[in-house]
């Protein structure tokens, strides 16, 4: 292992994920902060994600047997040490020179699953080599968007299979970018040394001249937007299970399973696409009910405390994905910073379980005040 990957020292005063966010804000440029932390439009959904978890109350239980408790969960045929995965996030080299490689080392060391973004600034093979050798690691998944260049996409998926990735996560909620005002105000642009290296060589679709009255969006870009029919094609070219990320409507959850999805991820893209969407904490229960235990349901968006993780599991999630806090830890101290963020969440989860009388996460539903109060 390159010693420089573990050379960063964690700054003093890092006790919470909020501390990491504050410190990262001092290190990152205004433009990069806007890219990492900003949301769409008025950022209402961005703020609602965190607030919704905070608004859910937990009810302590006392004198319950807690010895030999654990945080283990089952997910797609694997036993995970805890229900945390790193969400797919693009261009991590903006936060730290070692980018996704540092994140992978930290996630593997903490037993945390890793979902690598299509728009990673590090080659997927390099990330896999950093992550897979750790015996205690979680699952390694690859996030992708359906690209018009299907030949390139087929080759990209073949690369992920050969590198050892265990599942594909298809993002389905972003056929276009949201109106990210904060990024535009800050003048965010990728620097020359950062790019989506795994997309090198992909051919862009030919542009079609628009007729008077036509929309550049609906008659241009969206003519290549994926549909449900494309899920069958994707499944036909890979041996890996496919999860759909960005499913928030119960009917879409049922349709995803009909199309052969191995699971769904309740996500509003961290508030970065459609503003005024409900928070994922509010969306999760209806999707869980629609899936009815036929496939795992994961959730992301606004997870900032171990209590949030417990609440998500109590609402029926199979696991949670954590995004921005990982970037903050990466900016603060590389792999050591990411490891610290993940360790904080794990420790806080165990504390919350103990104080609500949950010996395992199967007991989590009983920790919710609303459910206990209704009985």
132 within domain boundaries: yes
Residue 64 is assigned to a structural domain of this protein: yes
**Looking at 97-106, 192-201, 225-234, 366-375, which range is the least confident one?**
366-375
State yes or no: pLDDT of 6 exceeds 90.
no
Q: Which residues contact 144 (CB under 8 A, 6 or more apart)?
A: 118, 153, 156, 157, 168, 169, 170, 171
Is the pLDDT score of 366 beyond 90?
Answer: yes
pLDDT above 70: percentage of residues in the chain: 91
The pLDDT of residue 178 is: 75
Q: Where are the beta strands (DSSP E) in 210-355?
A: 242-245, 263-266, 297-300, 319-322
Q: How confident is the model at residue 208, as a pLDDT?
A: 67
Residue 168 within a domain: yes
Q: Is residue 6 part of a domain?
A: no
Q: Using alpha carbons only, how large is the chain's radius of gyration in Å?
A: 20
In a domain, 320, yes or no: yes
145 pLDDT higher than 60: yes
Mean pLDDT of 203-211: 70
Q: Is residue 102's pLDDT more than 50?
A: yes
Predicted confidence (pLDDT) per residue in 296-316, tens digit? 999 999 999 999 999 999 999
Instruction: Please say whether the beta carbons of 160 and 233 come within 8 A.
Output: no
Rounded Cα distance, 157 and 151, in Å: 10
Domain count, the chain: 1
**What positions carry a catalytic annotation?**
269
307, part of any domain: yes
Give CA–CA dist 320/305, Å, rounded: 12
Please give the average per-residue pLDDT across 237-243, as a whole number. Answer: 97
Residue 119 in domain? yes
Q: Please tell me the distance from the alpha carbon of residue 34 to that of residue 181, in angstroms, as a whole number.
A: 9
Listed range (21-30, 37-46, 196-205, 283-292) with the worst mean pLDDT: 196-205
Q: Tell me, what CATH number does 328's domain have?
A: 3.20.20.70
- pLDDT at residue 285 in the model: 97
Q: Could you tell me the pLDDT band of residue 212, with boundaries at 50, 70 and 90?
A: confident
> CA–CA separation, 121 vs 96, rounded Å?
11
| Rounded Cα gap, residues 361 and 72, in angstroms | 8
**In terms of DSSP bridges, do strands 263-266 and 242-245 run parallel, antiparallel, or are they unpaired?**
parallel
| Model confidence at 84: pLDDT above 70 | yes
pLDDT at 219: 45
150 membership: H or E segment, kind and range: helix 150-163
Longest CA pairwise span in the chain (Å): 73
pLDDT digits (tens, 9 = 90+) for 8-31: 899 999 999 999 999 999 999 999
In the predicted model, what is the mean pLDDT of residues 32-40? 95
Average pLDDT over residues 107-114: 98
**E strand segments, 38-77:** 73-75
| Average pLDDT in the chain | 92
Q: What is the pLDDT of residues 215-238, one digit of tens each?
A: 554 544 545 667 899 999 999 999
- Assess if residue 208 is contained within a domain: no
Q: Does 64 have pLDDT greater than 60?
A: yes
Mean pLDDT of the region 326-333: 98
Domain carrying residue 250: 14-199+226-374
- Average pLDDT, stretch 143-160? 92
């Amino acid at each position: 292992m390159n010693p420089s990957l573990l050379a960063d020292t964690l700054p003093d005063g890092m006790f919470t994920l909020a501390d990491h966010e504050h410190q990262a804000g001092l290190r990152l440029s205004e433009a990069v902060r806007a890219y990492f932390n900003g949301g769409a439009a008025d950022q209402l959904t961005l703020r609602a994600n965190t607030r919704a978890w905070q608004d859910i109350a937990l009810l302590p239980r006392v004198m319950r047997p807690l010895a030999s408790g654990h945080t283990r969960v089952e997910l797609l045929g694997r036993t995970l040490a805890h229900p945390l995965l790193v969400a797919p996030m693009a261009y991590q080299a903006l936060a730290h020179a070692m980018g996704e490689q540092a994140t992978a080392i930290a996630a593997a060391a903490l037993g945390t699953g890793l979902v690598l973004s299509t728009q990673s600034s590090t080659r997927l093979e390099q990330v896999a080599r950093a992550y897979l050798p750790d015996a205690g690691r979680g699952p390694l998944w690859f996030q992708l968007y359906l690209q018009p260049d299907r030949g390139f996409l087929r080759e990209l998926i073949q690369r992920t299979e050969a590198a050892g990735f265990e599942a594909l996560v298809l993002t389905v909620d972003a056929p276009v970018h949201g109106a990210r005002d904060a990024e535009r105000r800050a003048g965010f642009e990728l620097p020359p040394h950062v790019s989506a290296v795994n997309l090198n060589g992909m051919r862009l679709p030919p542009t079609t001249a628009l007729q008077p009255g036509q929309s550049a969006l609906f008659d241009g870009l969206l003519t290549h937007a994926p549909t449900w029919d494309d899920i069958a094609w994707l499944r036909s070219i890979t041996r890996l299970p496919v999860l759909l990320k960005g499913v928030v409507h119960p009917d879409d959850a049922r349709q995803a399973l009909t199309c052969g999805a191995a699971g769904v991820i309740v996500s509003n893209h961290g508030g970065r696409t459609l503003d005024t969407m409900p928070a994922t904490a509010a969306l999760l229960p209806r999707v869980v009910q629609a899936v009815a235990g036929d496939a795992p349901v994961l959730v992301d968006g606004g997870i900032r405390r171990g209590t949030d993780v417990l609440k998500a599991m109590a609402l029926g999630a199979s696991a949670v994905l954590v995004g921005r806090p990982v970037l903050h830890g990466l900016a603060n101290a590389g792999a050591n910073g990411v490891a610290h963020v993940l360790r904080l969440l794990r420790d806080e989860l165990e504390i919350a379980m103990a104080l609500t009388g949950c010996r395992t996460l199967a007991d989590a539903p009983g920790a919710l005040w609303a459910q206990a109060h209704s009985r």
